[in-house]
């Protein structure tokens, strides 16, 4: 069963078609990755899904409801959580306070200690979020999503600025969230090592559209994708 | 805990002050308490809510005029209850803030300098309006506003003498301080901080930031309206200067000097700046405003958290609690 359906979404900024007739369906409980060069429209796509921007055309269907043009808080309440590209946490609040805000409803608050443990920040619970190291901020933001407990989470470059070990641990955490909590996950990432570790279907985005979909091996050996990342194929004569 | 102790000390000192300073200064201090209430309302909306309202006096003035009109019996001659006046003043200011706030925050949401300019312009417009609204006294304002009449169980008592008036006003101010502090320490306070620093994140967690902004704007306006309503009963008249540019900017200066992110510091900022003004203007005449200007600049450039809030925060912070 599908949880999210994007149908022919488009969004222009002036003359630039950031998202162009984009169509994608996510199955409930699935884990998917979206890759593509900078400026190909990935973050804009997330802004459209979460309601921070309105699409110029197209339809967004979540859990069978048409949520196109809904305000962000309503979309969030229906069950979409998002991790921003730059860690978006409340730096002036403590970690625990951050999670209290994210939990919103009282019954989820009991789970806060549990979440702190999962994101490996139990000892920092009373620290201000602004005092965390960069990688820890990324984790705290994932913790906010766990506290929010949505059914679909959108992760925008969750491992940016992380060390190799942290990246590895993050990949473990995300696959665990996907399996154990049965949350549907869509992740944007540049780090190919990370994506390989996730071992999930991959969608390559270029100029606002999906260029190719498939598993990691197929995508890695695809000539069009190679051209997208390493240069124009027309410019390189076939050897 | 320590900040509660500090607040207790401040209010105890204020309660003891009339013994030391005599009748005239007690009267002055009563007025300063009311300005302190206005400063608290601005600290709430600006320091905690992140909404830089450059026209906070408009709510003060609206509250003042509503109180004057009602207690003078200009609308309903039989219904001149002070309680009703105070409640109507708060409600009127809050409703005005809701309407203005909806216009400002809904849709794309106006913030920062634009918001400051629009609120400043609103205050100027209202000041103009009151200057020319002859049914409400126009330029001269409304005279002979009666003092607050307290009635309990049939017995009534007019706040006419300095001492009872001082203590009644102090009680109201302390009560408002207590309620607002309690509110800021609740989850609502967390939401305000979250909304101030990262509204997009808060919305993405399922919060309607419009409601949060409107609520703090209206609450702050209600407190300013209460201050204005008390103020007109002390002076006995309501005039267009209560609503306009000068008082709005003065309030900003008090709060900036005191410290916008600390309710108690903002409150003390108003009282101390006003007291300093009285003393310094006797010695230096109009030049005292230069001293105020320098204090303001020091506060903005060197101690952006406020001249008072910086030392007070050091005092109140135990070893365990981190810096903000």
With beta carbons less than 8 A apart as the criterion, state whether A87 and A134 touch. Answer: yes
Min distance A2 CA to chain B CA atoms (Å) = 22
Check residue B146 and give left, alpha or beta (phi > 0: left; psi -120 to 50: alpha).
Answer: beta
Interface probe for B, chosen from A51, A76, A79 (most Cβ of B below 10 Å), is A76
Which pLDDT belongs to residue B108?
67
Encode pLDDT of A60-69 as tens digits. 999 999 999 9
Q: How many CB pairs under 8 A join A and B?
A: 70
**Among A52, A91, A102, beta carbon nearest to B205:** A102
For every residue of chain B, which 3-state class applies, written as one string?
CHHHHHHHHHHHHHHHHHHHHHHHHHHHHHHHHHHHHHHHHHHHHHHHCCCCCCCCHHHHHHHHHHHHHHHCCCCCCCCCCHHHHHHHHHHHHHHHHHHHHHHHHCCCCCCHHHHHHHHHHHHHHHHHHHHHCHHHCHHHCECCCCCCEEEECCEEEECCCHHHHHHHHHHHHHHHHHHHHHHHHCHHHHHHHHHHHCHHHHHHCCCCHHHHHHHHHHHHHHHHHHHHHHHHHHHCCECHHHHCHHHHHHHHHHHHHHCCCCHHHHHHHHHHHHHHHHHHHHHHHHHHHHHHHHHHHHHHHCCCCCCCHHHHHHHHCCCCCCCC
Question: Would you call B206 and A97 a contact, using CB atoms and an 8 Å cutoff?
Answer: no
Domain ranges of chain A: 1-69+186-239
Encode pLDDT of B12-21 as tens digits. 999 999 999 9
- At the topology level, CATH places domain A1-69+186-239 in Rossmann fold (3.40.50)
Burial of A85 (0-12, 13-18, 19+ CB in 10 A): middle
Which pLDDT belongs to residue B247?
94
On the question of pLDDT at A219 being above 70, the answer is yes
What tokens were used for A238?
A: 């076939």
Min distance A13 CA to chain B CA atoms (Å) = 17
Question: Would you call A101 and B205 a contact, using CB atoms and an 8 Å cutoff?
Answer: yes
**Position with higher pLDDT, A59 vs A14:** A59
Interface probe for A, chosen from B185, B196, B201, B204 (most Cβ of A below 10 Å), is B204
Question: Would you call A72 and B200 a contact, using CB atoms and an 8 Å cutoff?
Answer: yes
The confidence band for B166, taking pLDDT boundaries of 50, 70 and 90, is very high
Sheet-wide strand order for A152-156: A80-83, A152-156, A184-188, A31-35, A202-206, A209-214
On whether any CB of chain B is under 8 Å from the CB of A53, the answer is no
The confidence band for B318, taking pLDDT boundaries of 50, 70 and 90, is low
Encode pLDDT of B186-202 as tens digits. 999 999 999 999 999 99
Which pLDDT belongs to residue B319?
44
**Among B191, B208, B322, beta carbon nearest to A101:** B191
Handedness of CA A93, A96, A100, A101 (dihedral sign): positive
Chain B residues with CB inside 8 Å of A84's CB? 200-201, 204
Interface probe for B, chosen from A85, A99, A102, A105 (most Cβ of B below 10 Å), is A102
Chain B residues with CB inside 8 Å of A128's CB? 322-324
On the question of pLDDT at A234 being above 70, the answer is no
Chain B residues with CB inside 8 Å of A52's CB? 200, 203-204
On the question of pLDDT at B324 being above 70, the answer is no
Helix (H) or strand (E) holding A33: strand A31-35
Considering chain B, what is the average pLDDT of its residues? 91
Question: Would you call A71 and B202 a contact, using CB atoms and an 8 Å cutoff?
Answer: no
Instruction: State what percent of residues in chain B have pLDDT above 70.
Output: 97
CA–CA gap between residue B33 and residue B175 (Å, rounded): 13
On whether any CB of chain B is under 8 Å from the CB of A127, the answer is yes
Look at residues A217, A215, A174 and name the one whose alpha carbon lies nearest to residue A194.
A174
Which pLDDT belongs to residue B263?
96
Encode pLDDT of A14-40 as tens digits. 888 899 999 999 999 999 999 888 778
Which pLDDT belongs to residue B268?
97
Question: Would you call B197 and A82 a contact, using CB atoms and an 8 Å cutoff?
Answer: no
The confidence band for A238, taking pLDDT boundaries of 50, 70 and 90, is very low
User: For the stretch B33-55, what's the b/e string if a residue is b when 16 or more beta carbons lie within 10 angstroms of its beta carbon?
Assistant: bbbbbbbbbbbbbbbbbbbbbbb
Which pLDDT belongs to residue B112?
83
Chain A residues with CB inside 8 Å of B203's CB? 52, 71-73, 76
Compute φ and ψ for A184, nearest 5 degrees: -75, 135
Which pLDDT belongs to residue B321?
43
Residue whose entry in the numeric block shows the structure tokens 């999503």 = A145
Considering chain A, what is the average pLDDT of its residues? 88
Pairing state of beta strands A2-13 and A152-156?
A: unpaired
CB atoms within 10 A of CB A96: 18
Which pLDDT belongs to residue A231?
63
Among chain B, residues having any CB pair with chain A shorter than 8 Å are 187, 190-191, 193-194, 197-198, 200-209, 320, 322-324
- In this structure, chain B runs to a length of 324
> What is the signed CA dihedral for A63, A65, A68, A69, rounded to 10 degrees?
-110
pTM of the model: 0.90
Chain A residues with CB inside 8 Å of B323's CB? 128
CA–CA gap between residue B124 and residue B118 (Å, rounded): 10
Encode pLDDT of B102-157 as tens digits. 999 986 678 888 999 999 999 999 999 999 999 898 999 999 999 998 888 777 78
The confidence band for B235, taking pLDDT boundaries of 50, 70 and 90, is confident
The confidence band for A215, taking pLDDT boundaries of 50, 70 and 90, is confident
Residue whose entry in the numeric block shows the structure tokens 């030049």 = B287
Encode pLDDT of A131-160 as tens digits. 999 889 999 999 999 999 999 999 999 988
Question: Would you call A91 and B197 a contact, using CB atoms and an 8 Å cutoff?
Answer: yes
Which pLDDT belongs to residue A232?
54
**Overall average pLDDT of the A175-192 stretch:** 89
CA–CA gap between residue B128 and residue B151 (Å, rounded): 36
The confidence band for B289, taking pLDDT boundaries of 50, 70 and 90, is confident
User: 3-state SS of chain A: helix, strand, coil percent to 5?
Assistant: 40, 25, 35
Helices (H), chain A: 42-49, 72-78, 95-103, 112-118, 134-148, 164-180, 192-198, 216-220, 223-230
**Position with higher pLDDT, A108 vs A209:** A209
Which pLDDT belongs to residue A160?
84
């Amino acid at each position: 069963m599908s949880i999210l359906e994007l149908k022919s979404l488009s969004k222009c900024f002036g003359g630039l078609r950031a998202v162009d007739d984009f169509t994608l369906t996510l199955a409930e409980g699935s884990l998917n990755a979206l890759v593509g060069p900078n400026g190909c429209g990935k973050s804009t796509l997330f802004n459209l899904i979460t309601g921070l921007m309105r699409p110029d055309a197209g339809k967004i269907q979540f859990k069978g409801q048409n949520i196109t043009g809904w305000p962000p808080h309503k979309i969030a309440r229906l069950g979409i959580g998002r991790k921003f590209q730059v860690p978006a946490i409340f730096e002036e609040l403590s970690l625990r306070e951050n999670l209290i805000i994210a939990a919103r409803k009282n019954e989820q608050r009991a789970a806060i200690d549990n979440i702190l443990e999962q994101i490996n920040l139990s000892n920092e619970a009373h620290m201000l979020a602004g005092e965390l190291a960069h990688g820890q901020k990324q984790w705290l933001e994932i913790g906010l999503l766990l506290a929010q407990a949505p059914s679909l989470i959108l992760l925008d470059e969750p491992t940016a600025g992380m060390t190799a070990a942290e990246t590895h641990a993050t990949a473990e955490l995300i696959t665990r969230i996907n399996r154990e909590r049965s949350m549907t996950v869509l992740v944007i990432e540049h780090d190919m090592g990370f994506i390989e570790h996730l071992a999930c279907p991959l969608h390559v985005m270029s100029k606002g559209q999906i260029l190719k979909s498939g598993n990691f091996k197929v995508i890695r050996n695809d000539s069009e994708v190679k051209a997208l990342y390493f240069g124009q194929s027309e410019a390189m004569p076939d050897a | 805990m320590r900040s509660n102790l500090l607040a207790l000390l401040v209010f105890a000192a204020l309660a003891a002050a009339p013994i030391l300073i005599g009748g005239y200064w007690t009267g002055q201090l009563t007025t300063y308490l009311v300005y302190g209430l206005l400063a608290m309302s601005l600290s709430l909306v600006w320091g905690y809510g992140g909404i830089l309202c450059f026209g906070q006096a408009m709510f003060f003035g609206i509250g003042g005029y509503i109180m004057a009109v009602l207690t003078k019996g200009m609308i309903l001659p039989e219904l001149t209850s002070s309680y009703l006046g105070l409640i109507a003043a708060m409600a009127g200011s809050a409703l005005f803030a809701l309407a203005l706030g909806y216009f400002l925050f809904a849709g794309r949401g106006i913030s920062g300098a634009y918001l400051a300019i629009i609120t400043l312009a609103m205050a100027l417009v209202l000041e103009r309006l009151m200057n020319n609204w002859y049914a409400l006294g126009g330029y001269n304002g409304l005279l002979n506003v009666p003092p607050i009449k307290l009635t309990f169980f049939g017995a009534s008592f007019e706040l006419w003498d300095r001492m009872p008036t001082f203590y009644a006003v102090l009680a109201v101010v302390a009560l408002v301080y207590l309620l607002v502090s309690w509110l800021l320490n609740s989850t609502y306070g967390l939401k305000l901080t979250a909304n101030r620093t990262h509204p997009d994140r808060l919305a993405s967690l399922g919060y309607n930031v419009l409601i949060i902004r409107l609520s703090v704007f209206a609450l702050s306006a209600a407190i300013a309206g209460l201050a204005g309503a008390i103020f007109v009963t002390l002076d006995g008249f309501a005039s267009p200067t209560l609503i306009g540019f000068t008082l709005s900017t003065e309030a900003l200066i008090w709060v900036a000097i005191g410290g916008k992110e600390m309710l108690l510091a903002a409150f003390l900022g108003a009282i101390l700046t006003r007291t300093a003004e009285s003393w310094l203007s006797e010695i230096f005449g109009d030049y005292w405003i230069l001293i105020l200007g320098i204090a303001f600049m020091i506060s903005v450039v060197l101690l952006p958290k406020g001249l008072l809030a910086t030392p007070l925060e050091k005092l109140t912070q135990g070893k365990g609690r981190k810096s903000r």
